[in-house]
Amino acid sequence: MTSIFKVPLFSAETAGQGLDLPGVLRAVIDSQRYVLGTQVLAFEAAFAAYVGVRHAIGVANGTDALEIALRSLGVKPGEGVVTVANAGFYGSTAIRAIGAQPLYVDVDEYTLNLSPSALAQVLSIKPVKAVIATHLYGQLADMAAITDLCRAAGVALIEDCAQAHGARRAGRLAGAWGDVACFSFYPTKNLGALGDGGAVVTDNAELANRVRALRQYGWGNKYEVVCDGGRNSRLDELQAAVLSAKLPLLDTVNAQRRAIGARYSAALADLPLRAHPVFGDDHVAHLYVVRSAQRQQLRDHLDARGIASDVHYPIADHRQPVHLGAYAGEHLPVTEAACQQALTLPCFPGMTDAQVEQDIFAVREFFKG
């Protein structure tokens, strides 16, 4: 289907460029094995090796991955789980699904990731069972500091890597820092399937075994239920085959995204907006996000010129109506400002030089006339 925008936010066509995806799917169909077969096993092994951990367990989607990870760590109803409030409510959804309590902390002004100083404060005053560190927009959070804080407090650490496939710092990839980590393979992700998909990764064999049981009804062996909280959450063979085909291209895709982000940042540096100035190995540019006090006006300007944009994310988790005012007294100033100002510009593999230049011209035109 052709986009109504001259410059779309994402292109499914270019995301699969160079791959024989029909052939990949045909091989699975011919095998007549569609659930938890050789394709899933092969992808799990390849993805674990890529991340640098011993175990990867395919699940149905990234949100299931978070919920299953929490359950595998033994988080109980009523226990506190620290998370950020500017990442789309996905972590909150998983926490609430098991009856635990989200403990919201503010984010770093520069990266919009979990602030270590804010984490240290909440760890000192509230009982905490686990921490979810989200690598927002593709940039690793300050994992060295966060890991040290969690270890000192005896608190489990979960990485939410849904936007950070392949991000690395000092040779260590997203997913290899926490006790357990969660990935989404939604089609727009840096490593995207042709539908939903997710994974839980860990170095801990005991956690891995629990995750494998939880993703399939709580089974230890077939029809033998060994743990509570099990569900039907399995990565299927078709998606696993697609992901295996795409995985060898991930670093190249990430480099393309970084290059686009670097062009934006250089071209927009003199404008009255916040743009990320550097894209190193710890940022895979899943989303290119600027912050502007004139967000809606800028978005309208881009829309009129056929350029897609989006807001990631407009409502802070602690301000969502589902809480029924339970967090009304909480104030997270950096989070709340970001939710009012963040605007996502197109940044995707296969984006042409002309499209990037068109976007840059339109943004500069808005501010400079």
If asked whether residues 126 and 187 sit together in one domain, one would say yes
Core vs surface per residue 207-235: b (16+ CB within 10 A) or e: bbbbbbbbbbbbbeeeeeeeeeebbebbb
Per-residue pLDDT band at 369 (split at 50, 70, 90): confident
Match 């760890």 to its residue by tokens.
123
Match 């939410």 to its residue by tokens.
160
Boundary-marking domain end, from 180, 215, 248: 248
- Report whether 269 contacts 277 (CB < 8 A): yes
Beta strands in the chain (DSSP E): 55-59, 80-84, 101-105, 130-134, 156-160, 168-169, 172-173, 180-184, 198-202, 219-221, 224-225, 288-291, 342-345
- Report whether 318 contacts 326 (CB < 8 A): no
What's the CA gap between 201 and 191, in Å, rounded?
15
Segments in 305-352 forming alpha helices (H) = 333-341
The amino acid present at 82, given as its one-letter code, is V
Residue 2 belongs to some domain of the structure? no
pTM equals: 0.96
If asked whether residues 236 and 287 sit together in one domain, one would say no
The per-residue pLDDT for range 198-225, each reduced to its tens digit, is: 999 999 999 999 999 999 999 999 999 9
- Report whether 128 contacts 103 (CB < 8 A): yes
If asked whether residues 131 and 267 sit together in one domain, one would say no
The per-residue pLDDT for range 168-184, each reduced to its tens digit, is: 999 999 999 999 999 99
Residue 197 belongs to some domain of the structure? yes
If asked whether residues 180 and 102 sit together in one domain, one would say yes
pLDDT at res. 277: 73
- Report whether 147 contacts 123 (CB < 8 A): no
If asked whether residues 71 and 198 sit together in one domain, one would say yes
Query: What's phi and psi for 135, nearest 5 deg?
Result: -90, 85
What's the CA gap between 262 and 245, in Å, rounded?
27
Q: Which of 88, 40, 97 is nearest to 66 (CA)?
A: 97
The per-residue pLDDT for range 67-122, each reduced to its tens digit, is: 999 999 999 999 999 999 999 999 999 999 999 999 999 999 999 999 999 999 99
Residue 176 belongs to some domain of the structure? yes
- Report whether 299 contacts 344 (CB < 8 A): no
pLDDT at res. 341: 98
If asked whether residues 155 and 58 sit together in one domain, one would say yes
Give, for 93, the enclosing helix (H) or strand (E).
Answer: helix 90-97
What's the CA gap between 162 and 143, in Å, rounded?
16
How many residues are listed for the chain in this entry? 369
pLDDT at res. 3: 57
Domain count, the chain: 2
Residue 3 belongs to some domain of the structure? no
pLDDT at res. 316: 98
Residue 6 belongs to some domain of the structure? no
Residue 324 belongs to some domain of the structure? yes
If asked whether residues 195 and 256 sit together in one domain, one would say no
Residue 331 belongs to some domain of the structure? yes
Task: Identify the domain containing residue 32 by its residue range.
Answer: 12-248
If asked whether residues 242 and 254 sit together in one domain, one would say no
Between the CA of residue 57 and those of 85, 94, 138, what are the distances in Å?
A: 27, 18, 22
Q: Identify the CATH number of the domain in which residue 168 sits.
A: 3.40.640.10
The per-residue pLDDT for range 129-141, each reduced to its tens digit, is: 999 999 999 999 9
Per-residue pLDDT band at 2 (split at 50, 70, 90): very low
Q: Which of 210, 81, 71, 170 is nearest to 134 (CA)?
A: 81
Q: Is 276 helix (H, G, I), strand (E, B) or coil?
A: coil
Q: Which of 311, 341, 319, 312 is nearest to 92 (CA)?
A: 319
Between the CA of residue 359 and those of 6, 91, 261, 275, what are the distances in Å?
A: 10, 32, 12, 14
Residue 329 belongs to some domain of the structure? yes
Average pLDDT, the chain: 96
